[in-house]
Amino acid sequence: MTDSPASGGDRYAQLRDAMIAFRDARDWRQFHDAKNLAEGLSLEAAELLEIFLWKSTDESRVMAADPAVRAKVSEEVADCFLFCVLMADAFGIDLIDAAQKKIQINAQKYPVEKSRGRRDKYDTL
């Protein structure tokens, strides 16, 4: 074993395998159909959103400086990510490849020369 950090792919594979082992040790695969995973992801995203409930945009921008808020956001983004990992596994999707492809697709939809500094949807650029 080396002291160098695992590559991104290795780290993802290790994390995915740990999540699958966590699930299988509890015999939860039977509950992890696509519908339930999508619902779980949506609920975790709602928990992330709840952190910012009733905050102004300006307040939300400075919340990252609060360690307690950062810890809660860290938990909720991890929950979201883990549901994505389970969903990708259920569909045989390589999540890293899918995300890389999506960045390329978005780059085509939002060319820098048209979208820089703008928040318009791609079809109205």
Return the closest-CA partner of residue 89 out of 36, 22, 19. Answer: 19
Q: With contact defined as beta carbons under 8 Å apart, do 15 and 85 qualify?
A: yes
Say if CB 85 and CB 21 are below 8 A apart.
Answer: no
Q: Which of residues 43-82 bind Mg ion (CB under 5 A)?
A: 44, 47, 76, 79
Q: Which is nearer to Mg ion, 44 or 89 (CB)?
A: 44
> Are the beta carbons of 125 and 113 closer than 8 angstroms?
no
Site residue total, Mg ion (CB under 5 A)? 4
Q: Which of 99, 101, 87 is nearest to 42 (CA)?
A: 87
Return the number of the residue (76 or 89) whose C-beta is nearest Mg ion: 76
Report the residue number whose CB is nearest to Mg ion.
79
Within positions 92 to 111, which residues make up the interface with Mg ion, using CB under 5 A?
none
Smallest separation, CB 64 to Mg ion (Å): 18
**Interface residues with Mg ion (CB under 5 A)?**
44, 47, 76, 79
